[in-house]
Chains A and B, each alone.
Chain A
């Protein structure tokens, strides 16, 4: 019953370095998401994938790229890290919409990223 698994849990990067955050879910969910959480600002959507093979920008996509590798996996890449990307990153997954209802997200445990 792993749910949503994120790796790594902690990471320190130097400005300009690149890295990929990994996310995998075992619930056969179609939709996956990447959010960042900063103090006082709540969760902000970076990118999402409504279904395998599709990705779309969210509220704060600049400086990030994503790949929906298959139905289970959705990765987030920082090409050239900046101190403004210091944050806690959460991956989430959910069922697709049925009759305008949404069944909510299941979140991973998060990645705490510090860019120095």
Chain B
């Protein structure tokens, strides 16, 4: 059974700090990795994708991938209360399928 593991949280950070969200996966052949943000009662929204080892930056978000360690992370710089949400890690699990972690709840307090 292919798995994607995330700490459920909540991860509590003060406004302006860096939030670090982590994810591990079990399938060594996975090629595509995604981070989704989900506000309470809403649908997941794609915020980052990464396919190669290393860092990928987009505004305040940085995704990091280490395929050797089967580890992907998301850094949110200058965290804002509006970043408070559940962050879902997703990993490719076969032909055009994604396997999702259970999500990490992030709470950014003023």
Contacts and interface: CB of A to CB of B under 8 A. Distances in A.
Interface in B76-99: 88, 90, 92, 95-99
Interface in A84-115: 90, 94, 96-97, 100-110
A42 B102 contact: yes
Given A102-B96, A104-B49, A110 B102 contact: no
A43 interface: yes
A90 B38 CA distance: 12
Interface string A30-51: 0101010000111111001010
B95 A97 contact: yes
Contacts of B4: 42
Contacts of A105: 44, 46, 90, 98
Interface of B: 4, 8, 31-32, 34, 42-46, 49, 51, 88, 90, 92, 95-103
A58 interface: yes
Interface residues of A, number: 27
A42 B103 contact: yes
Given A48-B97, A94-B96, A104 B31 contact: no
Contacts of A94: 96
15 contacts: A35-B100, A40-B8, A43-B88, A45-B97, A45-B98, A48-B97, A50-B95, A90-B44, A97-B95, A100-B31, A101-B32, A101-B51, A102-B98, A105-B98, A110-B43
Contact of A41 (B32, B44, B99, B102): B102
B43 A108 contact: yes
A50 B88 CA distance: 22
Contacts of B103: 42
